[in-house]
Amino acid sequence: MEDEQSERLRALARRRFISGLISVGGLAAARRAFGSNFWFPSTNSLSNVTEAGARTLVRYPQKTDLILLTDRPPQLETPLHYFQTDLTPNDAFFIRWHLSGIPTTVDLDSFRLEVGGHVSKPMSLSVNDLQSKFEPVSVVALAQCAGNFRSLFEPRVPGGQWGSGAMGNARWKGVRLKELLDAAKVQPGAVQVGLRGLDVPAMQATPPFQKALQVDHARDGEVMIAYEMNGEPLPMLNGFPVRLIVPGWYATYWVKALSSVMVLDQPLKTFWMDKAYRIPKNEDANEEPQHLSPETVPISRMAVHSIFVQPAQDEQLRVGQPYELAGVANDGGSGIRRVEISKDGGQSWSDASLGSDLGKYSWRIWRAKWTPAAKGTYRLKVRATSNSGETQVAAQWNRSGYQRDVVEQQDIVVS
Amino acid sequence: MSNWKIIVADAVAVMAMTAIVAGQSANPQAGASKKASKDASNQVHHIAMPQYPGAIMQGPNLEVYQKDCLICHTGRYVSMQPRFSKAVWQSEVTKMVDAYGAPISDADQALIVEYLVAVKGVEAPVPTAATPK
């Protein structure tokens, strides 16, 4: 079934490319090909596209208007104003696929999650099997792209030019990966668990998207396979029917439309672990453009970080008018214990109040009341400290724009 | 002066063609706005993907770029980038060939780098054309 599905998706990806080949002067050519009776949308009926400054908002199935980075494969960013609630709505949740052959049709009658490799009892499980034969568990966890905030790196680096919206906080329900692995009986000598989804590259030569976790991590009882997101099935573009949840780790490991869990007795050899998604081997994933770190390691746990959601970038505040600064803060699995705000560019700091505690893998909303006393431009800063004592850094750069943990700032005009 | 030219026809034609090929509605909004569909047995879940290929940036060797690069990804992979040096663009093209298996000859690689430097190089003039209508 997997081969058939793969070939179908590859064919679809190629077809989309072929349709793209008629690009230059394409309208005239298409008119010739289809005759003048064929209905073409007029140019301004590309109205799902809203140009707002540099941001293009588009609407995809099961999703609300999101910021378009790329359309094939799709990469869509969540507008910041959705980050005012503890849980990010499913329809506003960001999207990031690596390969153009993404699943757009899933038949639950034939879909199977294969659990195999270095095990003595390989299993082939339907979504119904996952829901009925294993104990359901749930966790609130932040999913965040490794390259979230990449566009803030200076000097700029190539890659998906994300702003702040390549993350979202959700309540995930599913089964523990440990339970599946125990049922499949992992054999001695297992070192990693390889993970793969239904997505396929447009060409055979392109490495299929795969990730690996160390076997002990995969069996920690927290890594899970989710079939629900905020009480609903996952949207297709967020990994329907099931996706991996790796609490505290960057979302590159959260394989979408997960179809294969392979226990390995050798480390997985793949571009996606060996070359991509690697960071300088030091505490803050830091290096200099002229002195790149000679050693890199696969990215893993999320860094402690915090952002402003209010005020928005272009918002103006009024003298004497009470305002509530607000935002979100996260770390990689100990939880947030403190968020501090500065209104004078970092000379003095005061504590923000923290919102609901939804668990150590959730982000934490913070708020701080402020009534500006004088007109002028204020440099606001925000920094978070985790329960494990980690805090943010003043400056950071790496070649791939990963794992941002810089203290963010925002200049705001009070009039 | 400007080496950008917005070809809306490109986007339109791609959408129309894709809709026909995929046997879907020619109205791009029809697929975008509705929920995922399920068949009678309620087991087949399906979404119809909208197409937002955007404007193709005009530059030298455009046809090589289109032929070799757009197999796997949309032109937005380039148009969303800031300006970079020729060395950065060269390394990106090399990565596409070495890591992703893009079947691009050495000669074509040089032509593609030329295109990328022209449309998104640090030395290129700042484009005057604004956003697509």
Q: Which bin fits A239, alpha (ψ -120 to 50), beta or left (φ > 0)?
A: left
Report whether A208 contacts A202 (CB < 8 A). Answer: no
Give me the residue from A19, A104, A202 closest to B47, CB to CB. Answer: A104
The pLDDT-based confidence of B126 (bands split at 50, 70, 90) is low
Q: Is the pLDDT assigned to residue A133 strictly greater than 90?
A: yes
Give Dmax (Cα) for chain B. Answer: 59
> Closest chain A residue to B82 measured between Cα atoms?
A156
Query: B44 touching A, CB under 8 A?
Result: yes
| Predicted pLDDT of residue A168 | 98
Which positions ≥6 away from A32 have C-beta within 8 Å? none
The pLDDT-based confidence of B42 (bands split at 50, 70, 90) is confident
Mutate to test the interface with A, among B10, B51, B74 (most CBs of A within 10 A): B74
> Closest chain A residue to B77 measured between Cα atoms?
A70
For the stretch A177-216, pLDDT in tens is 999 999 999 999 999 999 999 999 999 999 999 999 999 9
Q: Could you say which residues from 185 to 204 on chain A have a Cβ atom under 8 Å away from some Cβ of chain B?
A: 201-204
Contact A61 B100 (CB under 8 A): no
Rounded to whole angstroms, the Cα distance separating A340 from A292 reads 32
Q: Which residues in A lie closer than 8 A to residue B33 (C-beta atoms)?
A: 59
Q: Which residues in B lie closer than 8 A to residue A147 (C-beta atoms)?
A: none
Q: Could you say which residues from 97 to 126 on chain B have a Cβ atom under 8 Å away from some Cβ of chain A?
A: 99-103
For the stretch A382-414, pLDDT in tens is 999 999 999 999 999 999 999 999 999 999 999
Rounded to whole angstroms, the Cα distance separating A245 from A167 reads 14
The pLDDT-based confidence of B22 (bands split at 50, 70, 90) is very low
Contact B22 A105 (CB under 8 A): no
| Predicted pLDDT of residue B55 | 82
Query: What distance in Å separates residue A219's CA from the closest CA in chain B?
Result: 31
- Count of other CB atoms within 10 angstroms of residue A213: 22
Q: Is the pLDDT assigned to residue B18 strictly greater than 70?
A: no
Which positions ≥6 away from A28 have C-beta within 8 Å? B9
The pLDDT-based confidence of A46 (bands split at 50, 70, 90) is very low
Q: Which residues in A lie closer than 8 A to residue B62 (C-beta atoms)?
A: 24
Q: Is the pLDDT assigned to residue A40 strictly greater than 80?
A: no
Query: B66 touching A, CB under 8 A?
Result: yes
Query: What distance in Å separates residue B74's CA from the closest CA in chain A?
Result: 5
Q: Is the pTM of this model over 0.95?
A: no
Place of tokens 């908002």: A57
φ, ψ for residue A49, nearest 5 deg: -95, 120
| Predicted pLDDT of residue A328 | 98
The pLDDT-based confidence of A11 (bands split at 50, 70, 90) is low
Strand A316-317 with A408-414, pairing: parallel
Mean pLDDT of chain B: 75
Query: What distance in Å separates residue B128's CA from the closest CA in chain A?
Result: 14
Report whether A336 contacts A302 (CB < 8 A). Answer: no
| Predicted pLDDT of residue B84 | 97
Which tokens is A269 given?
A: 């050899």
Nearest to A309 by CA among A146, A414, A167, A151: A167
Which tokens is A143 given?
A: 């999913």
Place of tokens 């380039």: B78
For the stretch A265-302, pLDDT in tens is 999 999 999 999 999 999 899 999 999 999 999 999 99
The interface predicted TM-score of the complex, written ipTM, equals 0.86
Q: Could you say which residues from 91 to 130 on chain A have a Cβ atom under 8 Å away from some Cβ of chain B?
A: 99-100, 104-109
Rounded to whole angstroms, the Cα distance separating B68 from B52 reads 20
| Predicted pLDDT of residue A9 | 64
| Predicted pLDDT of residue B28 | 39
The pLDDT-based confidence of A55 (bands split at 50, 70, 90) is confident
φ, ψ for residue A56, nearest 5 deg: -110, 120
Which tokens is B117 given?
A: 């430097």
Contact A109 B43 (CB under 8 A): yes
Segment B31-37 mean pLDDT: 53
Nearest to A92 by CA among A74, A72, A65, A70: A65
Where helices occur in A303-353 by DSSP H, the ranges are: none
Q: Which bin fits A332, alpha (ψ -120 to 50), beta or left (φ > 0)?
A: alpha
The pLDDT-based confidence of A127 (bands split at 50, 70, 90) is very high
Rounded to whole angstroms, the Cα distance separating A43 from A35 reads 18
Query: B20 touching A, CB under 8 A?
Result: yes
Mutate to test the interface with A, among B6, B7, B14 (most CBs of A within 10 A): B14
Report whether A280 contacts A398 (CB < 8 A). Answer: yes
For the stretch B61-87, pLDDT in tens is 999 999 999 999 999 999 999 999 999
Q: Distance of CA A240 to CAs A8, A119, A244, A259, A352, Å?
A: 18, 26, 11, 11, 37
Give me the residue from A51, A61, A70 closest to B76, CB to CB. Answer: A70
What are A52-57's contacts with CB under 8 Å, separation 24+? Answer: A56/B52, A56/B54, A56/B131
Query: What distance in Å separates residue B130's CA from the closest CA in chain A?
Result: 10
Rounded to whole angstroms, the Cα distance separating A38 from B12 reads 12
